[in-house]
């Protein structure tokens, strides 16, 4: 924790509180311009407030670069301190009733699990916690929790997220899937050797740093079927698009049960080579930066997601 100079602690006036708030917004955006827009100030006013805070602290909080700013080590520590104090204050003002838990919550998730699993369940969360303003962001890139002000992430992988806390939400199972029409046309049912005549559909961004065919290769090693994999392939950056293409007779996708089971139930996909099998440690994880305790709004979201997973 940053040890603030005594003279700041002795002079926490309204102006200094305003300067700290301005600093926190600028640090979140890493931009004086965006901070000015949020605070309804001019960029010059934001810059002056930050300068006064730096003078009072006798610390340099930002490095001013040509077209951007970045936090110094002292600035990063102060930002974490201020954010923690704000969240502690928000939580202290909460009542014990779950229905009155309030505040903004940003959840970052991979597009496929958001589309296929999370969004169909969101009405239940909204009904239980109507005072929480939920902001869902999706993407395949690595998560920058601080810069994007993300509270919680729902990620697919093996649970290894360096520097972060991860908890398994639900394990995944894998199996090749395609339409019945495609399977019959290629004689694929119970005949893995016929994969050589097929087009494989790949999620090229299955998890961070994954090879484009990582899931298919993992399945093939498990079933000693590497020799059956064809060279013909079509790649996407989302598993749900692979499943959609498979249901439209494009090829054979590596289906994740949590994503494709509804399409199987509807008869749009079949399992031509047998049932789902565990995905060797792969699953969906709740991931967040180390913090104890977590804000109440984050804890109730995690509890609700676990209920859905069960």
Q: How far apart are CA 139 and CA 156, in angstroms?
A: 12
Give how many domains the chain has, as a whole number: 3
Peptide bond connecting 83 to the previous residue in cis, omega within 30 degrees of 0: no
CATH of the domain at 129: 3.40.190.10
Residue span of the structural domain in which 271 resides: 172-279
DSSP SS3 for 171: strand
Q: How far apart are CA 250 and CA 246, in angstroms?
A: 5
Contact 103, 133 (CB under 8 A): yes
Q: How far apart are CA 299 and CA 293, in angstroms?
A: 9
Domain stop point among 92, 114, 149: 92
In 87-226 the beta strands, taken as DSSP E runs, fall at 103-109, 132-138, 152-157, 165-177, 200-203
Shared domain check, 230 and 157: no
Residue 153, token pair as written in the block: 């992430």
Q: How far apart are CA 122 and CA 119, in angstroms?
A: 5
Shared domain check, 156 and 79: no
Shared domain check, 56 and 79: yes
Residue with token string 């917004």? 25
Residue 165's Cβ-side half-sphere holds a number of Cα atoms within 13 Å equal to: 10
DSSP state, residue 138: E
CATH of the domain at 12: 1.10.10.10
Shared domain check, 291 and 267: no
19, exposed or middle or buried, with CB in 10 Å at 0-12, 13-18, 19+? buried
pLDDT for the residue 106: 92
Residue 154 falls inside a structural domain: yes
Shared domain check, 275 and 177: yes
Residue 1 falls inside a structural domain: no
Shared domain check, 213 and 68: no
The backbone torsions φ and ψ at residue 307, rounded to the nearest 5 degrees and listed phi first, read -60, -45
Nearest in space to 239 (alpha carbons), one of 143, 106, 114: 114
Shared domain check, 114 and 36: no
DSSP SS3 for 239: helix
Contact 177, 255 (CB under 8 A): yes
pLDDT tens, N- to C-terminus, the chain (310 residues): 445 555 555 555 667 888 888 998 888 888 999 999 988 999 999 999 999 999 888 889 999 988 889 899 898 888 878 876 766 666 665 555 555 677 888 999 999 999 999 999 999 999 999 988 899 999 988 888 876 778 999 999 988 888 899 999 999 999 999 999 999 999 999 999 999 999 999 999 988 888 999 999 988 888 888 888 888 899 999 999 999 999 999 999 999 999 999 999 999 999 999 999 988 778 999 999 888 778 888 999 999 999 999 8
Contact 88, 1 (CB under 8 A): no
pLDDT for the residue 4: 53
Domain stop point among 39, 68, 92: 92
Shared domain check, 256 and 180: yes
Shared domain check, 223 and 88: no
């Amino acid at each position: 924790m940053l040890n603030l100079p005594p003279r700041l602690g002795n002079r926490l006036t309204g102006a200094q509180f305003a300067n700290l708030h301005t600093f926190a917004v600028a640090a979140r955006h890493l931009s004086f311009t965006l901070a000015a827009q949020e605070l309804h100030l001019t960029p010059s006013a934001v810059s002056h407030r930050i300068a006064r805070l730096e003078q009072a602290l006798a610390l340099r909080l930002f490095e001013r670069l040509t077209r951007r700013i970045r936090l110094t080590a002292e600035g990063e520590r102060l930002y974490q301190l201020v954010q923690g104090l704000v969240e502690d204050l928000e939580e202290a003002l909460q009542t014990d009733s779950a229905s009155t838990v309030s505040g903004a919550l940003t959840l970052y998730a991979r597009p496929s699990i958001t589309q296929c699993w999370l969004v169909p369940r969101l009405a239940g969360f909204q009904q239980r916690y109507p005072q929480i303003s939920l902001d869902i962001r999706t993407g395949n890139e690595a998560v920058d929790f601080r810069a994007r002000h993300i509270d919680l992430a729902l990620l697919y992988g093996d649970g290894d997220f360096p520097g972060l806390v991860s908890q398994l939400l639900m394990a995944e199972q894998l199996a090749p899937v395609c339409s019945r029409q495609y399977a019959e046309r290629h004689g694929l049912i119970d005949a893995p050797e016929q994969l050589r005549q097929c087009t494989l559909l790949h999620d090229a961004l299955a998890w961070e740093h994954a090879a484009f065919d990582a899931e298919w290769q993992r399945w093939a090693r498990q079933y000693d079927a590497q020799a059956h994999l064809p060279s013909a392939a079509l790649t996407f950056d989302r598993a749900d698009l692979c499943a959609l293409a498979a249901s439209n007779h494009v090829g054979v996708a590596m289906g994740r049960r949590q994503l494709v089971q509804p399409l199987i139930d509807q008869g749009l996909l079949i399992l031509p080579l047998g049932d789902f099998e565990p995905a060797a440690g792969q699953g969906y994880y709740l991931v967040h930066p180390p913090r104890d305790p977590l804000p109440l709004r984050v804890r109730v979201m995690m509890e609700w997601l676990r209920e859905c997973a069960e």
